[in-house]
Amino acid sequence: MAYELYYWPEIPGRGEFVRLALEEGGAEYIDVARIPGGMARMMALLGSDTAVNRPPFAPPFLKDGPVVVAQTAAILMYLGPRLGLVPADEAGRLWTHQVCLTVADLVAETHDTHHPISADLYYADQKDEARRRARHFRTDRLPHFLGWFDTVLARNPAGPAHLSGDMLTTADLALFHVVSGLAYAFPRAMGRHLAAVPRVAALHAAVAARPRLQAYLASDRHLPFTEDGIFRHYPELDG
Amino acid sequence: MAYELYYWPEIPGRGEFVRLALEEGGAEYIDVARIPGGMARMMALLGSDTAVNRPPFAPPFLKDGPVVVAQTAAILMYLGPRLGLVPADEAGRLWTHQVCLTVADLVAETHDTHHPISADLYYADQKDEARRRARHFRTDRLPHFLGWFDTVLARNPAGPAHLSGDMLTTADLALFHVVSGLAYAFPRAMGRHLAAVPRVAALHAAVAARPRLQAYLASDRHLPFTEDGIFRHYPELDG
């Protein structure tokens, strides 16, 4: 049975981390909210207004037969062994999950560069605060996160090609996507920072060159970054 | 061998989620950074400046012999089965972890009410932005999160005493702590909101009454909330 991914239909967003794992893992899946009637099906499973016993707090969530899993990093943890995208040992799986959780933290901080006051307000209503937050993000947090990923790659006993063990994992795919998003949102800052983290840049290029992902990224299953998503290019926030 | 918890020594912070699990689970542990020389031991394991192969990005982290686990929710996931604080079935464990991850999201949003621009700046340097963010948090996000936890309790087929199955889990302990912290930080807002989520309030009271936790909370192993931590009582942010 095909996996069912539920996520907002118009942005790559956090759903993209799940899509990348499903695509690279060669899984059959339905991107439910993007098919006719799918949004209604998603809303019927979501939050406090449904009869689901274990309702997701927010998209993305994955349905695998009777199992419903929410929280991006937990979905990746669920899919990892099923798609051959985590090491076999418990320590390696735990480490892969930790790296995915750290990517999730970076994603949340990236989102808040353009929405530092409230996700319920427009960007235009928090532009001054966004400019201030984005400056600290570009200067402090972004290089701090990128430096950590580069250190992890440098320290990997199996070599710097992967974040966890000697194989492609959900952590590599997650880092690929967040770097793509950051390069879209902050081209000037990332141009500078990526030069200081050559292993991160190399991993990003290697993942982008994988045949299944190349096919996916060129397809209409893949959604482009826009100024409605998590990664937004507002030139006034870059620098 | 005793577990080693590594966390900043002067605040309950995210370390408290781990302490509560260790205490309720009756585990032997050392709160490393609070013993002489412990801060140096913590810094030697942390981030990009060490020789550790899988360095934690940030505290808290747990050392269990050779295993080092970071990310609060991942630590709880690691400890859960070892301390008898998760259900035995895979679906129940995954659900418990999802709830813990949602608590972690709430904690991050709570932190940003007083630090909406940068954690590297003082509160005084972002007070105006904090007031604005806190207002949206109190009005929108806080009741949204609390309502979800209450729904989860209401929908639990095993009854509303627990978030996952028919037993006390790391998810219940995590909700207990975040509710304690929020009640400290936002006494007025929480007074209002808790009345609307009676199951959450009842769970909080039931966890607080557990003998091991009562002993812990009265001991000097437990640190009080202060205005240096994640949960800060600034009256101007409450309402």
pLDDT at A52: 81
Q: What is the DSSP letter of B9?
A: T
CB contact under 8 A, B156 and A53: yes
pLDDT at B37: 96
Q: What are the pLDDT digits (tens) for A196-224?
A: 999 999 999 999 999 999 999 999 999 99
Q: Which residue of A has its CA nearest to B104?
A: A105
- Which token pair is B131? 């007031």
Within 8 A of A112 by CB-CB distance, chain B residues are 112, 116
**Which among A67, A97, A151 has the least Cβ separation from residue B48?**
A151
pLDDT at B52: 81
How far apart CA B209 and CA B207 sit, in angstroms, is: 5
| Domain B3-83, architecture per CATH | 3-Layer(aba) Sandwich (3.40)
Collapsed DSSP state (helix, strand, coil) of residue A15: helix
Within 8 A of A149 by CB-CB distance, chain B residues are none
Cα B122 from chain centre: 23
Q: pLDDT above 90 covers what percent of chain B?
A: 95
How far apart CA B84 and CA B93 sit, in angstroms, is: 11
A to B CB pairs, distance under 8 Å: 120
CB contact under 8 A, A55 and B120: no
Interval B66-88 mean pLDDT: 97
For A119, phi then psi, to 5°, come to: -70, -15
Confidence class of residue A48 from pLDDT cuts 50, 70 and 90? low
In Å, the largest CA–CA distance within chain A is: 50
> What residues pair up with A21 in beta bridges, in sequence order?
none
pLDDT at A129: 97
Q: In this structure, what is the dihedral angle of CA atoms B184, B186, B191, B194, given to the nearest 10 degrees?
A: -90
How far apart CA B35 and CA B76 sit, in angstroms, is: 23
Token look-up 């909210």 returns: A33
Q: What are the pLDDT digits (tens) for B24-47?
A: 999 999 999 999 999 999 999 986
For A201, phi then psi, to 5°, come to: -60, -40
pLDDT above 80: residue A49: no
How far apart CA B100 and CA B176 sit, in angstroms, is: 11
pLDDT at A1: 85
A136: left (phi over 0), alpha (psi -120 to 50) or beta: alpha
Q: In this structure, what is the dihedral angle of CA atoms A82, A88, A94, A97, given to the nearest 10 degrees?
A: -40
Confidence class of residue A53 from pLDDT cuts 50, 70 and 90? confident
How far apart CA A50 and CA A42 sit, in angstroms, is: 11
pLDDT above 80: residue A47: no
Q: What are the pLDDT digits (tens) for B131-188?
A: 999 999 999 999 999 999 999 999 999 999 999 999 999 999 999 999 999 999 999 9
Tell me how close the Cα of B170 comes to any Cα of chain A, in angstroms: 16
Return mean pLDDT, chain A.
Answer: 96
**Which among A71, A101, A156 has the least Cβ separation from residue B71?**
A101
| CATH entry, A90-210, from 1.10.3720.10, 3.40.190.10, 1.20.1050.10, 3.20.10.10 | 1.20.1050.10
How far apart CA A108 and CA B141 sit, in angstroms, is: 15
How far apart CA B171 and CA A115 sit, in angstroms, is: 29
Token look-up 């095993």 returns: B158
Mutation target among B57, B163, B164 for the A interface, most CBs of A within 10 A:
B57
CB contact under 8 A, B116 and A94: no
Mutation target among B62, B71, B109 for the A interface, most CBs of A within 10 A:
B71
Q: In this structure, what is the dihedral angle of CA atoms A152, A153, A156, A161, given to the nearest 10 degrees?
A: 160
pLDDT above 80: residue A99: yes
**Which among B101, B118, B151 has the least Cβ separation from residue A48?**
B151
Mutation target among A17, A94, A99 for the B interface, most CBs of B within 10 A:
A94
CB contact under 8 A, B118 and A129: no
Question: Are the CB atoms for A69 and B98 separated by under 8 Å?
Answer: yes
Collapsed DSSP state (helix, strand, coil) of residue A6: strand
Q: What are the pLDDT digits (tens) for B190-206?
A: 999 999 999 999 999 99
Interval B65-74 mean pLDDT: 95
How far apart CA B107 and CA B103 sit, in angstroms, is: 6
Question: Are the CB atoms for A168 and A162 separated by under 8 Å?
Answer: yes
pLDDT above 70: residue A60: yes
pLDDT at B48: 59
What are the Cα distances from residue B162, in Å, to A159, B155, B199? 44, 10, 9
**Which among A67, A98, A137 has the least Cβ separation from residue B71?**
A98
How far apart CA A118 and CA B58 sit, in angstroms, is: 26
How far apart CA A142 and CA A110 sit, in angstroms, is: 9
Question: Are the CB atoms for B152 and A55 separated by under 8 Å?
Answer: yes
**Which among A47, A101, A137 has the least Cβ separation from residue B73?**
A101
Tell me how close the Cα of B214 comes to any Cα of chain A, in angstroms: 30
Range with the poorest average pLDDT among A164-168, B63-67, B180-184: B63-67
Domain ranges of chain A: 3-83, 90-210
Between A53 and B115, whose confidence is greater? B115
Collapsed DSSP state (helix, strand, coil) of residue B183: helix
